[in-house]
Amino acid sequence: MSLQVLSTSTMRKYLSLLSLALVCCCSVQAEVFTSIGQMTDLIYTEKELVQSLKEYIKAEESKLDAVKSWANKLDVLTRASTSDPEGYLAHPVNAYKLMKRLNTEWAELESLVLQDPSDGFISNMTVHRQYFPDQEDEKGAAKALMRLQDTYKLDSESFSRGKLPAYNEADYYHAVLWMQQALRQMDAEEEHVVSRADVLDYLSYSVYQMGDLSRAIELTRRLVAIDSSHQRAGGNLRYFEKLLSKQLKELNQEGQEPATEEPIQLGTYKRPSDYLPEREIYEALCRGEGVKMTTERRSRLYCRYHDGNRNPRLLLQPMKEEDEWDSPHIVRYLNALSDQEMEKIKQLAKPRLARATVRDPKTGVLTTANYRVSKSAWLEGEEDPVIERRPQDIMVDGNRLATFLNYKEEPDAFKTLGTGNRVATFLNYMSDVEAGGATVFPDFGAAIYPKKGTAVFWYNLFRSGEGDYRTRHAACPVLVGSKWVSNKWIHERGQEFRRPCGLTEVD
C-alpha cells in the first residue's frame, strides 16, 4: 500500500479540493457560520466597530460638554438680565451683547447642536454591514452547537451562555433541554435577560410537543399563576386540559391536582428518531466509543520507512508510514506537508471558500445540506508550485454529519473529465484539533484523529474496480478549535498498470 500507485504526470491534470473545517458561507452575506476563517475576520471587524463606537461616544461627550458650557454661561447672563431688564439694557455694551448673542452666538449654538457625530460611526457600520452574518448564519451556528451537544453527549449547562433558536426551528427536544437549563440558572439567581414567564411559556409548549401533556399542564398553570394576563397561557391551558380530560376519560382515570408551589421537576426526554440511520454509530465513534480495534489486531499494525517501491524521489528521504487500520488497510504518512506548504494552500484557498455541496439523490443536482457545513475551494495544479509538485492535492473539510460514499459523491462530474472512478483517497490533516474532528468509518468501526502535517491513505475500490463500501466515512464535528484538511482523489485513469486487477472481485 504505497504512494507509488499515484501517477505524478496524470495527477497534475486534476483539481485539488479545499474546504474549511467547521461549524459554521457561499456568499459574502450568508453562511458565515460554516467558516472559522471568515468568523475570525468578523472578530477583527467587531473590534474596529467598537473603536469607531468609542470615537463616536467621545465626540458626543465633547459636543455635550460644549453645549453644557454654553448653557452655564447663558444661565448666568439671563439671571443677571432678567433680575433688572431695564437696568441691564441701560448699559449700551449689554444691549450690544444681547444683539450679538441672539444674532450670532445662538446661531453658532444651533449649528453645534445640529452637528451629528454619528456620521462617522454610521458610515463605518454601512461599510462593514455587508460582511455581517444574517439570520441563516445565526440559525446555522445554533444548529452546530446542538449537533455538538448530541454527538459528544454534552449537558446543556456546558453551552448555556447563549440563546439558541431551537424552539423557532420546531426542535422541541433541544428547546426543552435549554429551557430547563434556563430555569436552573434562574433558581440559582444567576443574571438573566428573559423572564421566568417566557421560559415557562416556551417550555410548556415544547414538552406538550414532546408528548408530555400532564407536565405541559403543570407548567402552564405555574405560568398563569405568575402572569394571569399572559396572551397564550389561558388558551393553552384550556386546550391542554381538554386533551388530558379526553385521554383520562378513555383510560377511566382522574384528572390532575392544581399546581403547587413545589420546585418545578425537570423532565427527561429522548431525542426524536427522525435522524440519519447510522447516526448513533457515527456519534459513538466520534466520542471514541465502539472503536473495533482489538489488542490482537493492533499487534499486526506496523510503522516503516517507505520509498515508494524504489521511487527516485524517496530513496534518500523515504516517507514515514504507519498502519492505522488493518482491513481495509489505512495508512498514515508523517510529514506529508510542511508548515510552509500548508500555509500556502490555506492562503490560496481562503478567498475562494464556498459552502460545500452534496448531490441530491432525487434530482442529481448539487445542493447545500444542513448536515454538511464545511467550505471548499477548487485549486488547479498550475496555480502554484506547491500544488503542482505535491503527489497529493488538498481539501479542507469538516463537520459533515452524514456519512457518504467517497467514490460516489460526484460521479457525473468526474465522468465528464474522463478520469474514471475514485480509486483511492489521500487525506492531509493541515491543523491540529483540540477536541473532536475525527474521521470515522461506521462500517468497520474506525476513528482516525487529525494530526497536523500527516496524511492518511486508503483505497475506495477493490482491484476489480468494484466499490469497497466499507470505506464510507464521515468527519466528526469540531468541538474545540478549527480543522483544515486537504484531500486528493486518485482516479482510475492512469492507474491500470500500477494496480492491476486481482483474481477475485474483492482482492
Give the three cell numbers for residue 423: 480509486
Helix H or strand E encompassing 49: helix 36-83
The answer on 160 and 100 residing in a single domain is no
Amino acid at position 56, single letter: Y
Of 251, 274, 307, the residue that ends a domain is 251
Q: Are residues 105 and 178 in the same domain?
A: no
Amino acid at 81: S
Instruction: Residue 119: count other Cβ atoms within 10 Å of its Cβ.
Output: 11
In a domain, 500, yes or no: no
| Residues 326-351, mean pLDDT to the nearest whole number | 89
Q: Give Dmax over CA atoms of the chain in angstroms.
A: 122
**Of the residues 229, 251, 273, the one at which a domain ends:** 251
Domains: count for the chain: 3
The answer as to whether 421 is a domain residue is yes
Domain-terminating residue out of 64, 95, 129: 129
> pLDDT band at residue 30, thresholds of 50, 70 and 90?
very low
Most confidently predicted of 186-200, 287-301, 343-357:
287-301
With respect to residue 284, please indicate whether it lies within any of the assigned structural domains.
no
Does 436 score more than 60 pLDDT?
Answer: yes
Q: How far apart are CA 155 and CA 268, in angstroms?
A: 12
438: domain CATH number? 2.60.120.620
Residue 140: per-residue pLDDT:
73
74 and 191 co-located in one domain: no
Residue 334's identity, in one-letter code, is: L
User: Which residue in this structure is represented by grid cell 455581517?
Assistant: 132
- Same domain? For 87 and 235 the reply is no
**Closest Cα to residue 424, out of 490, 363, 357, 473?**
490
Q: Whole-model pTM?
A: 0.58
Say whether both 335 and 244 belong to one domain.
no
Residue 298 CB partners (closer than 8 Å, separation 6+) = none
Q: How far apart are CA 124 and CA 128, in angstroms?
A: 6
Tell me whether residue 269 is in a domain: no
The answer to whether residue 16 is domain-embedded is yes
Q: Which of 17-31, 52-66, 240-254, 446-460 has the lowest average pLDDT?
A: 17-31
- Say if 178 falls within a structural domain: yes
Going by their DSSP bridges, the two strands 358-359 and 366-367 should be labelled as antiparallel
Residue 133 phi, psi (nearest 5): -70, 160
pLDDT of residue 170: 53
Range of the domain at 226: 154-251
Q: Are residues 315 and 449 in the same domain?
A: yes
Question: 485 near 398, Cβ under 8 Å?
Answer: yes
Average pLDDT taken over every residue of the chain: 73
Q: Is 443 exposed, middle or buried (0-12, 13-18, 19+ CB in 10 A)?
A: middle
Residues 213 and 329 in one domain: no
Q: Would residue 66 count as lying in a domain?
A: yes
Q: What is the pLDDT of residues 37-84, one digit of tens each?
A: 667 778 888 888 899 899 999 999 999 999 999 899 889 989 988 998
224: CATH: 1.25.40.10
Which three three-digit cell numbers place residue 170? 420546531
Q: 127-181 pLDDT, tens per residue?
A: 888 878 777 777 777 777 777 777 777 665 545 544 444 444 556 666 777 677 7
Does one domain contain both 26 and 43? no
CA 433 to CA 450: how far, in whole Å?
7
Identity of the residue numbered 69: S
CA gap 340, 320 in Å, rounded: 19
Q: Percentage of the chain with pLDDT > 70? A: 70
Q: Are residues 469 and 321 in the same domain?
A: yes
Same domain, 231 and 311: no
Q: Same domain, yes or no, for 324 and 413?
A: yes
Please, where are the H alpha helices in 322-416?
A: 339-349, 385-389, 411-415
Nearest to 422 by CA among 495, 501, 326, 345: 495
**Residue 4: predicted pLDDT:** 27
Q: What is the DSSP letter of 312?
A: G
126-135, 355-364, 466-475: range with lowest mean pLDDT: 355-364
154 Cβ contact list (under 8 Å, min separation 6):
148
**Number of neighbouring beta carbons within 10 Å of residue 233:** 23
Would 214 be classed as within a structural domain? yes
396 shares a domain with 324: yes
